[in-house]
Amino acid sequence: MAQPIGRFAIVGLGKMGGNLALNAARAGFEIVGVDPSGVRQELARSGVTSATLADLKSLPRPRFAMLYVPAGPLVDQLLHELGEVLEAGDIIADGGNSYWGDSIRRQARMRERGLHLVDVGTSGGPHGALTGCCFMVGGEREPVAKIEPILRRLAVPDGYVHAGGPGAGHFVKLVHNGIEFGMLQAIAEGIDLLTHYREKLPLAALLKCWQHGSVIRSWLVELMEQMYRQQQGGMDSVPAYVEDTGEVNWLVDDALHMEVPVPVIAQSVMELIASRDTDHNWARAIAMMRRGFGGHPFGPDKGTAHERHTGRVGPFVPSNAA
């Protein structure tokens, strides 16, 4: 029986990859970190060692590397470079928000070289990466089985699922993000209504109350309360401009191709875009919740806008595509 994987690489040590590296190190794994900025002190103190892609040759077989980098051409570049270092039977997991159609193509391309690519939709934000993620995995059974013990240890209880074959993990995560957008919009519109009542309402107290026994209790409502309190009961300092990386735009496009109606998700995307030309409290509320769960910026951000326009490499993939 093959030895379980105890030493592996995380490529990309930003908010998600860096916190996941800390999570893994604390769980007893030996982590090799690859990032243009090196390994920050907090990671180094936890035992994460700095390396280059070429250094991954020294990992025990089967070698395993997790990618936590922005979706788009950078993923293709890293896969090409890793293909020059790794060997048949080694495993790469893309934990970013790549388009599922791109993941299907990439998996087929890597399989031609004998390498396994697994798509790992990851939810929970930077806090979840540190304390326990929700993983939605797509890929062939054999490589998934080899990395499943790792992912289960890094996930919250019951926060792991092997959703299906290549692309399934990123598709499920994309649908998850669409649901998230709809929920954000509904909560935000409710906040806007509360702020327009004829007398000033105790908004933070209402949000706290809703977290205890109400039908709409959720982490997003909890984050809304936290962020509202951080703003000291005011929202005017938060720009009414909601930035995003564009994944849910892909989902709306997919829904049109699949002829599946998604009016709430589609409208939430339209409202998000509309926030960039308006000045409403609902937009501020969404920005506040997004800052809470993902550390997303307030107001326009050039880097995020670039990711929105470059994240998906290919178009929709029909169901009979290889």
Domain boundary among 164, 186, 221: 164
Pairing assessment for the beta strands 91-94 and 64-67 based on DSSP bridges: parallel
Cα dihedral 175/178/180/184 (nearest 10): -170
Question: For residue 186, what is the domain's CATH number?
Answer: 1.10.1040.10
- 252 vs 233: CA distance, rounded Å: 35
pLDDT at 239: 81
Percent of the chain with pLDDT over 90: 77
On whether residue 284 sits in a domain, the answer given is yes
Tell me how many degrees the CA angle 101-103-106 measures, rounded to the nearest 5: 115
Range of the domain at 157: 7-164
CA distances from residue 276 to 72, 254, 284 in whole angstroms, order as listed: 24, 24, 11
Domain boundary among 137, 164, 191: 164
- 233 vs 203: CA distance, rounded Å: 8
Residues 6 or more apart whose CB falls under 8 angstroms from that of 280 comprise 192, 240
C-beta of residue 91 within 8 angstroms of C-beta of residue 140:
no
On whether residue 318 sits in a domain, the answer given is no
On whether residue 321 sits in a domain, the answer given is no
Indicate whether 94 and 186 sit together in one domain.
no
C-beta of residue 118 within 8 angstroms of C-beta of residue 139:
yes
Q: Dihedral of CA 221/269/300/67: which sign?
A: positive
Reference 136, options 151, 157, 125; nearest CA is 151
Indicate whether 182 and 137 sit together in one domain.
no
pLDDT at 301: 78
Indicate whether 139 and 265 sit together in one domain.
no
Indicate whether 137 and 184 sit together in one domain.
no
- 221 vs 184: CA distance, rounded Å: 9
On whether residue 319 sits in a domain, the answer given is no
Indicate whether 180 and 151 sit together in one domain.
no
Does residue 237 or residue 218 have the better pLDDT? 218
- 137 vs 165: CA distance, rounded Å: 8
On whether residue 61 sits in a domain, the answer given is yes
Confidence class for position 286, pLDDT limits 50, 70, 90: confident
Q: Which residues are catalytic?
A: 173, 180
pLDDT at 1: 52
On whether residue 179 sits in a domain, the answer given is yes
Domains of the chain: total = 2
Indicate whether 76 and 125 sit together in one domain.
yes
Indicate whether 115 and 205 sit together in one domain.
no
On whether residue 317 sits in a domain, the answer given is no
Residue pLDDT, tens place only, 248-275: 999 999 999 999 999 999 999 988 888 8
Indicate whether 130 and 247 sit together in one domain.
no
Indicate whether 181 and 238 sit together in one domain.
yes
Indicate whether 51 and 74 sit together in one domain.
yes
Question: For residue 98, what is the domain's CATH number?
Answer: 3.40.50.720
Other CB atoms within 10 A of residue 300 CB: 12
Domain boundary among 164, 184, 217: 164
pLDDT at 322: 42
Say how many Å lie between the first and final Cα of the chain, rounded: 32
Pairing assessment for the beta strands 133-138 and 116-123 based on DSSP bridges: antiparallel
On whether residue 212 sits in a domain, the answer given is yes
Residue pLDDT, tens place only, 141-178: 999 999 999 999 999 999 999 999 999 999 999 999 99
Indicate whether 211 and 147 sit together in one domain.
no
Percent of the chain with pLDDT over 70: 98
SS3 188: helix
Q: Which amino acid is at 311?
A: G
Pairing assessment for the beta strands 49-50 and 7-11 based on DSSP bridges: unpaired
Indicate whether 102 and 198 sit together in one domain.
no
pLDDT at 190: 96
